[in-house]
Amino acid sequence: MAARWILVMCLLICIVESHARHNGLKFFNVKSHGAIADGKTDNSAAFLKAWGEACNWDGWASILVIPHGTYMLKQVVFTGPCKGWTTFEIRGVLKAPIDRPTSSELTWINFRYVNQLNVNGGGTLNGQGALVWGHKPVFMTMGFAFVTNSNVHNLRSSNSQNVHFTMFASENMTFANLTLTAPRDSPNTDGIKIGKSQGITIKDVYIATGDDCIAILSDTKNVTISDVFCGPGHGISVGSLGKNDDEVDVKDISIKNCTFYGTLNGLRIKTWASPLNHTLKVSNIVYEDIFFNDVKHPIIINQEYCPGHHCGNMVPSRVQISDVRYKNIQGSCKGDIAVSFKCSEKMPCQNITMEDINVWSIKGSKRRLTNYCSHANGASYGKQIPLSCI
């Protein structure tokens, strides 16, 4: 009888241990895999080894832990698919390499083909951009390609060499509680750049940088942006679009409760005046509850975008912009024009709605702002300061 009882207990213990092993949570510390937090040693091999074990853990979730300290990290690609929820927890500081990329891959830390990924931890990504700005090519800080059902939150990214965060062909991702900073004059340091992605949420993010705070590119839809502070920078942009024939429509973008401080632009849609072989569409864009402080170009649609001013023979843009709504927009402008709609002569903007707009000059009553509309169709409602041209 006693022997049978011992046998039953042993079987139960084996079952419990097996369940915990295959369904539990496990931590993978990069230091246990050889990482050295001296700010000089390349830790890419140790990080990749820890990632391989965490990604292939049979339990329901794994956490790759990067403890406090400063870790030098050369270019790495963390590839899935993984077997369960995988967390990449950055508690310390990661330093980017300052040597130039040696391949066409221009992302410093890249996640690919991962479902159910968390990137968090309260740590910092130090791009060391000041040491390489002005050189080409340089690294974008962190990229997500073919990543789904994932979250990026509670991180800082400073002095990126190029773009801070990029997304490509990704779905159902949330970016929250982030601080992205680079000097006002740092080149091409966009905060977040989104392409060929959908179901993206960006909220509670502070962005002070040298280019677009957020840029929404070709084949992107269902994006919700809220509670973003942008400044300095070039604002939140849809585009640029319409330069290449392989581009796809952009639609269903919501930008709400955002603040722009000292930016070059506020809310911008930009398309090239290029001879596309097909019509590209930008539609259902909503801007609501927006505040400007000392913004040069608060509201702008520019369908003659040409940043280098050497575009050769420009033709009317073949990007059709429609169903764009501006509601409860207010704040100060340091330029002369509050609203500028320079739409395509070939495909005029359609159904532009302006509701309760109040933009004033930083010079007070001494300077009266104006609005400019060209090939723009729509309607205005409620308060319109300055007087609407729609």
Active site residues: 234
Helix (H, G, I), strand (E, B) or coil at 60: coil
Write the burial class of residue 157 (CB in 10 Å: 0-12 exposed, 13-18 middle, 19+ buried): buried
What phi-psi label fits residue 44: left (phi over 0), alpha (psi between -120 and 50 degrees) or beta? alpha
Integer Cα distance of 253 and 243 in angstroms = 21
Neighbouring-strand partners of residue 361: 333
Give the Cα separation of 189 and 213 in Å (integer). Answer: 9
Distance CA 295, CA 267 (A): 10
Tokens (6 digits) for 133: 């700005």
Q: How far apart are CA 327 and CA 290, in angstroms?
A: 8
Angle at 171 between CA 167 and CA 172, to 5 degrees: 110
